[in-house]
């Protein structure tokens, strides 16, 4: 068995688990859809107060809602690894000939795939409400790549916490503690010029701001590589740190 085939097997396993229990996909999409349908409509007159990229608050906020969904879904990965540990599935995998890196890669790629599927649903709903992607099909693919890359990077935090604490409650609590402060201290839902100066300072160093801005320019402006490439660089740096922590914890679990 090769690393690629082992990764594919585990990827399919997690995908089948999602298909057999689609209610998980629905509930993970519930909050972003509420934000998209209600939050953007409640603040629809916001665009009359300040000039927004794309012209409407719906198009401005869609990028932030996509990242909100990716962030929330990525932080759920730790709960799955805790379930695998508690059920004994991980221990069973360790006594098979499967390549050890494939166990993590299958988990991470399935998470990224799930986030892309969810993002496609959100983007389709946003289109139905009147939001458009200026850069067309290529831009949509780059948006999906950015979201999947972001999801991989942040999944590392949840996976490392899950393997370190082996407690779904702890992973959920820390995930909730991180999600909303980072989301609201970024440019996800409000332009930086509308924020207090101290929030602007924090937002400039917030990885979510970089990722959101990259998605937003692809939706509303065009191929602004001066925004897109730095965002990929920041996401890559986060991935090195978080996935490094995941690999460290995984080696401890394996040993």
22 Cα distance to chain centroid:
19
Instruction: Compute CA distances 22 → 18, 126, 169, whole Å.
Output: 6, 21, 22
Please give the distance of CA 211 from its chain centroid, rounded to a whole number. 10
The whole-number pLDDT of residue 46 equals: 62
Position 1 scores a pLDDT of 56
**pLDDT one digit per residue (tens) for the chain, 255 residues:** 587 888 888 888 877 777 777 666 666 777 788 888 887 777 666 666 665 666 678 888 888 889 888 887 777 777 777 777 777 777 777 777 778 778 888 888 888 888 888 899 999 998 888 888 889 899 999 999 999 999 888 888 888 888 888 777 787 777 777 777 888 888 888 888 778 888 888 888 899 999 999 999 999 888 999 999 999 999 999 999 988 888 888 888 776
**Whole-angstrom distance, CA of residue 241 vs CA of residue 28:** 26
d(CA 126, CA 136): 14
Radius of gyration of the chain (CA): 19
> For position 7, what pLDDT does the model report?
82
Cα separations in angstroms, 94 against 42, 85, 126, 165, 251: 51, 11, 43, 20, 11
Model pTM greater than 0.85? yes
Start-end of H helices in the chain:
3-20, 23-34, 40-42, 57-74, 77-87, 89-94, 100-129, 136-165, 168-184, 197-203, 207-220, 225-254
Whole-number pLDDT of residue 129: 86
Give dist(CA 17, CA 25) in Å, integer.
11
Residue 47 CA to residue 178 CA, distance in Å, equals 28
At residue 217, the pLDDT reads 92
pLDDT at 44: 66
């Amino acid at each position: 068995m090769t690393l690629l085939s082992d990764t594919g097997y585990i990827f399919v396993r997690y995908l089948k688990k999602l298909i057999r229990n689609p209610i998980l996909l629905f509930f993970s999409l519930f909050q972003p859809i509420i934000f998209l349908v209600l939050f953007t409509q409640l603040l629809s007159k916001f665009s009359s107060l300040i000039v927004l990229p794309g012209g409407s608050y719906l198009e401005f906020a869609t990028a932030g809602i996509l990242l909100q969904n990716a962030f929330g879904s990525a932080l759920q990965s730790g709960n799955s690894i805790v379930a695998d540990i508690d059920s004994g599935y991980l221990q069973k995998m360790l006594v098979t000939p499967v390549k050890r890196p494939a166990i993590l890669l299958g988990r991470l790629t399935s998470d990224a795939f799930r986030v892309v599927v969810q993002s496609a649903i959100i983007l389709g709903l946003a289109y139905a409400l009147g939001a458009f992607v200026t850069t067309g099909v290529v831009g949509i693919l780059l948006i999906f790549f950015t979201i999947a890359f972001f999801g991989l990077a942040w999944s590392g935090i949840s996976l490392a916490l899950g393997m370190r604490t082996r407690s779904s409650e702890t992973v959920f609590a820390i995930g909730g503690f991180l999600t909303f402060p980072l989301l609201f201290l970024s440019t996800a839902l409000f332009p930086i010029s509308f924020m207090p100066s101290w929030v602007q300072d924090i937002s400039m160093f917030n990885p979510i701001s970089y990722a959101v801005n990259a998605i937003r320019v692809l939706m509303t402006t065009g191929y602004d590589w001066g925004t897109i490439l730095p965002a990929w660089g920041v996401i890559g740096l986060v991935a090195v740190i978080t996935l490094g922590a995941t690999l460290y914890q995984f080696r401890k679990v394996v040993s």
